[in-house]
Amino acid sequence: MLSIPAFRNLYALFLLAFALTAAHAQQAAAPLPRVLILATGGTIAGTGATSTTTVGYTAATVGVDNLIKSVPELQKIARVGGEQVFQIASENMGNAEWLTLAKRVNALLAQPDVDGIVITHGTDTLEETAYFLDLVVKSRKPVVLVGAMRPSTALSADGPINLYNAVLTAGSQEAVGKGVLVVMNDQINAARDVTKTNTTTPDTFKATELGVLGYVVGNRPHFYRQSTRKHTVDTEFDVSQLQSLPDVQIAYTYANVGPTAVDAFVAAGARGIVHAGVGDGSLPNRVKPALVNARAKGIVVVRASRVGQGIVARNGEANDDQLDFVVADNLNPQKARILLMLALTKTSDTRVIQRMFYTY
Ligand code: SIN
């Protein structure tokens, strides 16, 4: 005969075993997330003449079906589907492609059976596409951009593991509501913060001073922080009806620079000019009159910096209030251009545009 305490222990063990079995069965039954891979080209889809060809290869040759087939492990972590949106090297990415891509992403994310999207992309302009989508995607579902620094045919190609980690992240609950992400080299970065820092090495994407959001390690994403800037569903931008974006150009600054570029942009009808200034966005004497003239013609001028880190301080190196210029905060010139284009779809009021630069 069992004593009453022994019976209680046995009963508790039975309940525990039952609960564990039920939890396991529930876990086993949970469907894998549905993650769609939208391919746009780049080195991740590139091929070289030999396995040691890591420069001088051809980008954008492998189609999305073969990209997916080359990583059979994807089938264990997601129900993946593929779509070839473009097949280009990312130096050829432009406003028209961004509008097409954003509309497609929004349409797919509106489908209840889609849990997340991965976009394969060349690394050269990946940060720009990522930030554009960060501002115009209207969903909290994960959107992850991924590329590779070595073509698919190279020894130690980084594309397959990057793609695997991107799909893991896009299918995860942890990535929901974090804005558009860039996953490469086992690291997760925010679209707004990240930039390409090295021409050839696989650890090229960095959020220089602000740092990574997290890592993909041990078959799952680990997040430690998130951006405080508004994105996706919390922005005021809507591309659903747009067929084109306002013309915004970047004028780069260097010792001995003159007004030629700014004057040419004004003559060509630009609606906005991003001044990629030296230091804290300083205005060289030879350039300032051209920018003042641009502003007098109604063109919105944004002072950014070519330095790559830090804030361009309003009314610091120039009297922005008097000049009626906008400062880029800590956006690099190529991202300031994107925000200015989207801002100009809503307003040309420089006070409102400055507010947007402090918001997104
Ligand atoms: C490209 O940006 O399309 C080529 C370079 C790369 O993907 O790394």
The helix (run of H) or strand (run of E) holding residue 95 is helix 95-109
Predicted structure pTM score: 0.92
User: Which pLDDT score, from 0 to 100, does residue 13 have?
Assistant: 47
Q: What is the pLDDT of residue 297?
A: 98
Ligand 1 closest atom vs CA 43? 7
Tokens of 269: 């009808």
- The DSSP element (H or E) to which 336 belongs, if any, is helix 333-344
Mark residue 256 as left, alpha or beta (left: phi above 0; alpha: psi -120 to 50; beta: remaining): left
Q: Which atom of ligand 1 is nearest to the CA of 41?
A: 3
Q: What is the pLDDT of residue 10?
A: 47
Q: Is 21 a catalytic residue?
A: no
> Is any ligand 1 atom within 6 A of the Cβ of residue 149?
yes
Which of 166, 224, 172 is CA-nearest to residue 42? Answer: 166
In short, whether 43's Cβ falls inside 6 Å of ligand 1 is yes
Q: Which residue has the tokens 């030629």?
A: 260
Tell which atom from ligand 1 comes closest to the C-alpha of 125. Answer: 2
Q: How far is the CA of 1 from the centre of ligand 1 (A)?
A: 75
Is 122's C-beta closer than 6 angstroms to any atom of ligand 1?
yes
End-to-end C-alpha distance for the chain, whole angstroms: 72
| List of E strands, the chain | 34-41, 79-88, 116-120, 143-146, 181-184, 187-190, 195-196, 205-206, 214-217, 220-223, 248-252, 272-277, 300-305, 326-327
Distance 11 CA to ligand 1 centre (A): 62
Secondary-structure percent of the chain, ordered helix, strand, coil, rounded to 5: 35, 20, 45
Question: Quick check: 107 and 118 in contact, CB under 8 A?
Answer: no
222: enclosing H helix or E strand: strand 220-223
**What's the rounded Cα separation, in Å, for the pair 236 and 355?**
12
The predicted structure's pLDDT at residue 30: 87
pLDDT at 14: 46
Cα torsion through 112, 113, 116, 118, rounded to 10: -130
| Pairwise CA distance, residues 209 & 309, whole Å | 7
- CA 180 vs. chain centroid, Å, equals 5
| For ligand 1, mutation pick of 40, 43, 44 (most atoms within 8 Å of CB) | 43
**How many alpha carbons lie under 13 Å from residue 198 in its C-beta half-sphere?**
11
d(C-alpha 192, C-alpha 226), whole Å: 11
Structure tokens at 60: 């954008």
Output the pLDDT for position 28: 57
> Residue 160 half-sphere exposure, CB side, CA atoms within 13 Å?
13
Task: Using the structure block, give the residue that is written with the tokens 């361009």.
Answer: 312
Atom 2 of ligand 1 has which residue's CA nearest to it?
122
DSSP 165-191: HHHHHHT-STTTTS-SEEEETTEEEET
* One pLDDT digit (tens) per residue for the chain, 360 residues: 445 555 455 455 444 454 545 555 555 568 999 999 999 999 999 999 999 999 999 999 999 999 999 999 999 999 999 999 999 999 999 999 999 999 999 999 999 999 999 999 999 999 999 999 999 999 999 999 999 999 999 999 999 999 999 999 999 999 999 999 999 999 999 999 999 999 999 999 999 999 999 999 999 999 999 999 999 999 999 999 999 999 999 999 999 999 999 999 999 999 999 999 999 999 999 999 999 999 999 999 999 999 999 999 999 999 999 999 999 999 999 999 999 999 999 999 999 999 999 999
Task: List beta partners, residue 214.
Answer: 188, 223
| pLDDT at res. 12 | 52
Instruction: Answer yes or no: is the C-beta of 147 below 6 A from any ligand 1 atom.
Output: yes
144 in the Ramachandran plot: left (φ > 0), alpha (ψ -120 to 50) or beta?
Answer: beta
Residue 344: per-residue pLDDT: 99
In angstroms and rounded to an integer, the radius of gyration of the C-alpha atoms of the chain is: 24
- CA–CA distance, 29 with 305 (Å, rounded to integer): 52
Q: Which residue's C-alpha comes closest to atom 7 of ligand 1?
A: 122
Residue 205 CA, ligand 1 centroid: distance in Å: 13
SS3 call for 219: coil
Tell the burial category of 19 from Cβ atoms under 10 Å away from its Cβ (0-12, 13-18, 19+).
Answer: exposed
Q: How far is it between the farthest Cα atoms of the chain? A: 100
Q: Which helix (H) or strand (E) holds 264?
A: helix 260-267
Q: Which of 40, 43, 123, 129 is catalytic?
A: 43
- 42: Cβ below 6 Å to ligand 1? yes
